[in-house]
């Protein structure tokens, strides 16, 4: 099974945000404790799976009571690093980049996009959803100066490797890659590919005649 850099199975990491959604629902219902069985039922998982996933965090369930709802929310957020603020730069302020700049859901996941970058001189110097857009020429310098560790890549595939190289040269340690190009980066740089066309292909093939 594919594991992430910390040895946590990727499916477990992907389930953690879904647990948070359920836990926030339970907190809104004033629940103080929750069992693995209740979480499992709401997400159509097995209680064993839920307990296995929770075992990767530091939270320990209590016999008969289960997990404290608030404690579990805090622990999952801490485990994911969502309790801290992580600053990112986004490169390629087209339709997708603009949508990501306007998405408010990143704030409670510890992500703030400090600035955008583009080669289009009509965009450079403007603000999009309140975020200032800089020339690509300043990317490496500003990554270095602001100690930004995360880059979001929303340029066309043909520009993606060059932009990734500039990010890495500045000290970026993680790239969220929406470009559909397989990036060549040093082994200590983490890349998360978000290929929207691949997702659509999976959906389309099931709908195809």
For ligand ATP, the closer CB: 26 or 100: 100
Question: Which DSSP symbol is given to 155?
Answer: S
For ligand ATP, the closer CB: 156 or 199: 156
Element spanning 192, H or E: strand 190-193
Task: List C-alpha distances in Å: 167 to 38, 106, 161, 171, 208.
Answer: 44, 21, 10, 7, 39
Distance CA(161)–CA(143), nearest Å, equals 17
The reply to whether 95 sits in an annotated binding site is yes
Distance CA(110)–CA(13), nearest Å, equals 16
What the block records as the tokens of 78 is: 């801490």
Q: How far is the CB of 117 from ligand ATP (least distance, A)?
A: 6
The reply to whether 92 sits in an annotated binding site is yes
Q: How far is the CB of 36 from ligand ATP (least distance, A)?
A: 43
Q: How far is the CB of 123 from ligand ATP (least distance, A)?
A: 6
For ligand ATP, the closer CB: 16 or 124: 124
Applying CB under 6 A, which residues contact ligand ATP? 91-97, 117-120, 136, 155-156, 159, 162-163
The reply to whether 159 sits in an annotated binding site is no
Annotated binding site: 92-97
């Amino acid at each position: 099974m594919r594991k992430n850099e910390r040895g946590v199975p990727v499916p477990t990491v992907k389930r953690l945000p879904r647990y948070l959604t359920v836990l926030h629902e339970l907190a809104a219902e004033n629940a103080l404790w929750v069992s693995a069985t209740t979480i499992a039922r709401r997400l159509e998982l097995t209680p064993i799976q839920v307990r296995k996933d929770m075992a990767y965090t530091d939270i320990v369930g209590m016999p008969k009571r289960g997990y404290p709802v608030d404690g579990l929310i805090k622990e999952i957020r801490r485990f994911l690093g969502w309790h801290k603020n992580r600053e990112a730069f986004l490169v390629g302020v087209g339709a997708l980049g603009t949508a990501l700049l306007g998405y408010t859901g990143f704030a409670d996941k510890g992500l703030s996009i400090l600035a955008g970058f583009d080669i289009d001189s009509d965009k450079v110097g403007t603000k999009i959803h309140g975020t200032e857009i800089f020339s690509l020429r300043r990317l490496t310098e500003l990554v270095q100066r602001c100690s930004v560790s995360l880059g979001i890549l929303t340029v066309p595939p043909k520009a993606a490797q060059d932009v990734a190289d500039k990010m890495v040269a500045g000290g970026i340690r993680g790239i969220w890659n929406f470009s559909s190009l397989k990036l060549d980066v040093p082994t200590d740089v983490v890349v998360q590919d978000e290929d929207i066309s691949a997702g659509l292909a999976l959906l389309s093939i099931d709908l195809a005649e």
